[in-house]
Every structure is written in structure tokens, then in C-alpha cells.
Amino acid sequence: MSDSESVFEQPEAEAVTVEIEPEAAAEEVKEPEPEPEEPPKKAKKPRKPMSEERKQQLRENLKKGRETSLANRRAKAKKKGTFKKAISLEDQEKEEQALEIAQAKIAAAEARKEQREAAKHARAEASEAKELAKQLRVELDELKAERAESKKKKAAIKAEADQKAAEAAKKAAEAAAAAAEPVAPPPTPTLAGRALSRLMRGL
């Protein structure tokens, strides 16, 4: 081997081991879940025709079973005491009488209740009528007071008008009396000597 060959000679690559966790491996590699297979349907077998003797036997067995179950139920009911005792005629009459008495009491109670309600309604109506009468009385008193006040105002106005008319008539009478009095002539002045001489000269 030459030097040049030794120079370009490369070492062999070491093997690298990679550890994969089981969870990561499970996540990475997921196989598709197989679809649930439907169970195969069984084919129905056709029924064999039943004979009349077999039908009769089954009917009798069913009848016997019902009778025994009824007897068992009755026995259990007797033990528990759930069967009603036979009621005698006297007990029936007593129950009927008690029922009639109870119905009569209920009817009387309802009648009393209706009477109380009617009385209550009547009292309410009477109180409403009283309140209305009071209100009407107050309104009537107010109207009377207003009418009396208007009458007073009218009387005062009339008296004032009469007083003014009397004053006017008095003034008119005084004016007429003053006009009817004779007016005295103005006094003639007496002429002194000089005034008399002057007057004569002017003539």
C-alpha cells in the first residue's frame, strides 16, 4: 500500500444503535383496528305443524297453571288480610245513614258559607254606599257655599251700583237746582267826579 493510498484511506463507520421507547414505538406504529364482525344471522327454522292432541294438552296445562296461581294468590291474600269482609245489611244501613248525615252537614256548611259571603258582599256594598253618600254631601255643601258666596257678591255689586246711581242722581239734582236759581245782575259801579266828566266828554 502506498502513502497516497494510506492518506485517502478512511476509517470504517461505527455501528450506531438507537433505542426506541416502547410507548413511542407504539405511537409511531399504529395498526388499523379490525372492524367488529357482525355475528352471522341464524336462519329461522320453520315450525312443525302441531297436532290437535298437543294443542289440547297445552290448553289443559295452561288452565291448571292459572287455577293454581289463583289459589296461591288467594292464600297469600288471606294471610295478609287483604280480603274484604262481608258487610252485613245493618252495617250497610249505618254507613248509608252516616253518609246522608255527612252530606247534610256539608250542605248546611256550604249554605252558611254562602250566607256569610252574601252578608260580607252586602256589608261591602253598604260601606261603599255610605262613602258615596258622604262624598255627595260634601260636594253639595261645597255647591251651597259657592252659591251663597256668589249671592253675597251679587248683592254687594248691586248695592254698590245703587249707591253710585244715588250719588249720580244727587249730583244731577244739585246741578239742576243750581241752574234754576236766578243770577243777580252785576252791581253798577258808582262814578266819581272825574270819571263822570270824562264820560261826558266822550259823548
Per domain, the residue ranges of the chain are 88-174
Contacts of 10-19 spanning 24+ positions with Cβ under 8 A: none
Measured CA to CA, the distance from residue 128 to residue 137 in angstroms comes to: 14
Sign (positive or negative) of CA dihedral 86, 90, 96, 101: negative
- pTM for the structure as a whole: 0.29
pLDDT by position in tens, the chain (length 203): 445 454 445 555 455 555 555 454 444 555 556 565 666 777 777 777 888 888 899 999 999 999 999 999 888 877 766 545 555 667 778 888 999 999 999 999 999 999 999 998 899 899 899 999 999 999 999 999 999 999 999 989 988 888 888 888 888 888 877 776 666 666 666 666 677 777 777 65
Closest CA to 139 of 128, 149, 150, 147: 147
pLDDT given for residue 186 in this prediction: 66
pLDDT given for residue 24 in this prediction: 47
